[in-house]
Amino acid sequence: MSRNLRIIVVGIDTNVGKTVTSAILTEALQGYYWKPVQCGPLKDRDWVADKLSLKERCYPEAFCLHSPCSPHLAAEKEGLSITAQELIPPLCSAPLIIEGTGGLLCPLNSHETWVDAAASWRGLYVLVHRHYLGSFNHFFLTLEAMQRRNLPLLGIVFNGLSDAQTEAMLLKKANTICLGRLLWEPQLTPQIVQHLAKQWKETWG
């Protein structure tokens, strides 16, 4: 893959595995990690940095907000405002893995969503799907939003126990491939993340 590649990790919902997926992709591609907007007291950047074999591979956030809620609400609580044009990816000499905040249409302010910023970054998208009641609707709404904006989908990461029939249907509808799978682990250690990175990369050929 190109050294200047940007991979944008999005999910069909919040808490579907974007951060873990981002860490694995960063490790697999020996790239860098960036989350433009962090909401909540726990920094995903710190979690990812701890899991990588090469340190100093995480860029600081453009906005680091304390409230664990939507960016527009978290910013408002701190007397700030976020605009799409302020979210400028850092330049680096390796693939840059960008993790989204919430879902694709998570609001940044009263009139812009997260995808309004991401659409200008000229990256390839990885969509994270987790099986749960209602996930089909979230998947197809996200896919439709991406297709309407001509956002290139690199592949899907499935989180949870395998459901071959469902996954085959989703891959066919999205006209894409499975890039990797996440299974529940009692503790995601650096060793597990690095093992998954090697495993995923080997399947890519």
Beta-bridge partner residues of 155 = 126
Does the domain made of 6-204 have the CATH classification 3.40.190.80? no
pLDDT tens, 14-64? 889 999 999 999 999 999 999 999 999 889 999 999 999 988 999 999 999
pLDDT tens, 55-64? 899 999 999 9
Q: Which of 18, 35, 43, 55 is catalytic?
A: 35
Give the pLDDT score at 2: 58
Question: Domain extents for the chain?
Answer: 6-204
Q: Is 77 annotated in the active site?
A: no
Of 157 and 2, the one with more pLDDT: 157
Give the pLDDT score at 8: 98
What are the angstrom distances between the C-alpha of 78 and each of 28, 66, 88, 112, 128?
Answer: 36, 8, 21, 18, 30
60 contacts 124 by C-beta, under 8 angstroms: no
CA separation for the pair 11, 81 (Å, rounded):
24
